[in-house]
Amino acid sequence: KDAVEISVKDIDQLAKSSFPLCMRHMLDKLRENHHLKHGGRMQFGLFLKGAGLKLEDALAFWRAEFSQKVGSERFDKEYAYSIRHNYGKEGKRTDYTPYSCQKIISATPGVGDHHGCPYRHFGEENLRAALNKMGVSGHTLEEIMDKVKNRHYQLACTLTFEATHGVSCDSGINHPNQYFSESQKVLRA
């Protein structure tokens, strides 16, 4: 089991260097709207847990954003429970597992939702812009868009990983937390 811990103050930097596009997007939207709907809170919250964010830090992280929108009292009343729940501290005490790519790709985000896989759920222009922002362009970008057109979303994500890290990823990307840990391995080497 991975014993790496991350702290709240590192999240933005880690997002830039090591989060896959799906999770960068949700962090951007959370910072922008100070809110994420249920599907986003689950997908992103469980990812952060898997990346090593401890429960107390997770509560502080979500409270800091949500309290700007709904106030900290309402956060504590309506939202803190579900975060503790993700960590198995409420309800059936199930320790929820972070979602795999397969599960995220098969999600059906509605209007105002930001979860899902950008390779699958973004329109072409938005995806191109998001990849540009990660520093991907030219021939590599076209190769990625080609994988997307052929519905090979995880291959598109793998190519993005390779382009942004300058290494090959032979195993391929199949889990956002795998993307994160492979990235950290490369960057800490």
* Stretch of 15-23, 28-36, 79-87, 128-136 contacting ligand SF4, by CB under 6 A: 15-23
Minimum distance, C-beta of residue 93 to ligand SF4, in the bound complex (Å): 27
**Among residues 11, 36, 104, 130, which is the contact residue for ligand SF4, using CB under 6 A?**
104
Work out which of 11, 117, 130, 159 binds ligand SF4, going by CB under 6 A: 117
Distances (CA, A) of 120 to 21, 46, 123, 144: 11, 20, 8, 12
Alpha carbon of residue 133 to chain centroid? 16
| Number of residues engaging ligand SF4 in binding (CB under 6 A) | 15
Among 87, 119, 144, 183, binds ligand SF4 (CB under 6 A): 119
Q: Which of 21, 36, 48, 59 binds ligand SF4 (CB under 6 A)?
A: 21
Taking the C-alpha atoms of residue 24 and residue 178, their distance in angstroms, rounded to an integer, is 15
Q: What is the DSSP letter of 9?
A: G
Nearer to ligand SF4, 40 or 118 (CB): 118
Stretch that binds ligand SF4, among 17-25, 59-67, 74-82, 122-130 (CB under 6 A): 17-25
Instruction: Establish if 176 lies at the interface with ligand SF4 (CB under 6 A).
Output: yes
How much helix, strand and coil, in percent to the nearest 5, is found in the chain?
65, 0, 30
Contact call for residue 127 and ligand SF4 (CB under 6 A): no
33-41, 78-86, 135-143, 171-179 -> range binding ligand SF4 (CB under 6 A): 171-179
Rounded to 10 deg, the angle between the 124-133 and 138-149 helix axes is: 140
| 27 belongs to the binding site for ligand SF4 (CB under 6 A) | no
CA dist 105 and 127 (Å) reads 15
CA dihedral over 52, 22, 141, 169, signed as positive or negative: positive
Cα separation values, 128 from 31, 118, 123, 146, Å: 21, 10, 9, 12
Q: Which residues bind ligand SF4 (CB under 6 A)?
A: 20-22, 101, 104-105, 117-119, 153-154, 157, 173, 176, 179
